[in-house]
């Protein structure tokens, strides 16, 4: 099944991926899926509207678009997630674009990147985005020692709670490097991904958009980063394309475990 929200204490195998800044990244799967059907039909009154045949056709098409998909049409759901922020320029620009589109996403923040950008974190929370924990530094956590890792995650969590009033309940380990002991010690829900955009590697908007739109499936979690301009541009392009196809964007906590 696709869609990442995994619990290693329950027996999920350790996730591992190569270094994201110049060496690689790999997604793992185990997960969550939601979906619902919705829609209505155009009323018979449309057929009685005055004007030319072309005018009536345009009016009907416009009303169809406003009212959404027809009855029985399944709404596909996806969670868009961003790691490593906040970034002083691209995160606010991303937030602007998401707000214009009415989309909520999940940000996994790195503790060392928060100082000086506190207002950005506060804005994320105020605008309804989910904030998760990405530890304090971008290191392989299974090599750092359990006590040190727990302290780093706790430190980051307290920084976020101090700004938003809410301590994150979700963690995404850098590189997906995690194990059962860390899962149990932190007590947080681990969130990995289904679709790795490889935005950090490509730094190419078109290539990232094509990869994500080709691979995404209902209930998936998409991995991106909010620290590059190309990633910000690609993310908004992905939102536009998927929304046009009837996709609904949710935060990871809104995905339901089967």
Residue 102: which of 238, 252, 243 has the closest Cα?
A: 243
Alpha helices of 108-216 — where are they, by DSSP H?
118-126, 146-164, 180-186, 199-202, 205-215
* Spatial separation of the C-alpha atoms in residues 9 and 182, rounded to whole Å: 9
Residue 134 designated active-site:
no
φ and ψ at residue 234, rounded to 5 degrees = -65, -40
Determine which one of 194, 196, 225, 237 is catalytic: 225
DSSP string, 17-58: ---TTTT--------B--EEE------GGGGG--S-HHHHHH
Note if 83 is an active site residue: yes
List 32, 83, 177, 199, catalytic entry: 83
The strand pair at 35-37 and 74-83 is best described as antiparallel
Whether a cis peptide bond, with omega within 30° of 0, leads into 86 is yes
What three-state secondary structure class fits 100? helix
Alpha-carbon span 73 to 68, nearest angstrom? 10
Q: In whole angstroms, what is the distance from residue 195 CA to residue 148 CA?
A: 30
- Chain centroid to CA 239: how far? 11
Q: β-pairing, 220-225 with 195-196?
A: parallel
Catalytic residues: 83, 225
């Amino acid at each position: 099944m696709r869609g990442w929200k995994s619990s290693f204490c329950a027996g999920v195998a350790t996730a591992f991926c190569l270094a994201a800044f110049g060496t690689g990244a790999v997604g793992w799967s185990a997960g969550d899926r939601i979906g619902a059907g919705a829609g209505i039909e155009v009323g018979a009154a449309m057929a009685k509207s005055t004007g030319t045949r072309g005018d009536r056709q345009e009016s009907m098409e416009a009303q169809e678009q406003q009212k959404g998909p027809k009855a029985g049409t399944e709404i596909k759901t996806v969670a868009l997630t961003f790691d490593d922020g906040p970034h002083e320029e691209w995160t606010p620009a991303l937030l602007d674009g998401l707000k214009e589109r009415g989309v909520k996403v999940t940000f996994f923040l790195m503790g060392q990147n928060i100082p000086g950008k506190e207002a950005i974190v506060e804005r994320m929370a105020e605008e309804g985005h989910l904030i998760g924990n990405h530890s304090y530094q971008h290191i392989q956590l299974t090599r750092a020692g359990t006590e040190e890792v727990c302290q780093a995650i706790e430190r980051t969590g307290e920084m976020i709670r101090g700004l938003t009033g809410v301590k994150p309940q979700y963690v995404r380990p850098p590189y997906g490097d995690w194990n059962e002991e860390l899962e149990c010690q932190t007590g947080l829900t681990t969130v990995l991904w289904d679709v790795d955009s490889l935005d950090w590697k490509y730094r190419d908007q078109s290539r990232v958009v094509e990869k994500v739109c080709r691979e995404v499936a209902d209930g998936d979690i998409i991995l991106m980063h909010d620290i590059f301009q190309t990633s910000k541009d690609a993310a908004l392009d992905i939102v536009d394309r998927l929304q046009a196809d009837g996709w609904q964007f949710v935060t990871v906590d809104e995905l339901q475990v089967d």
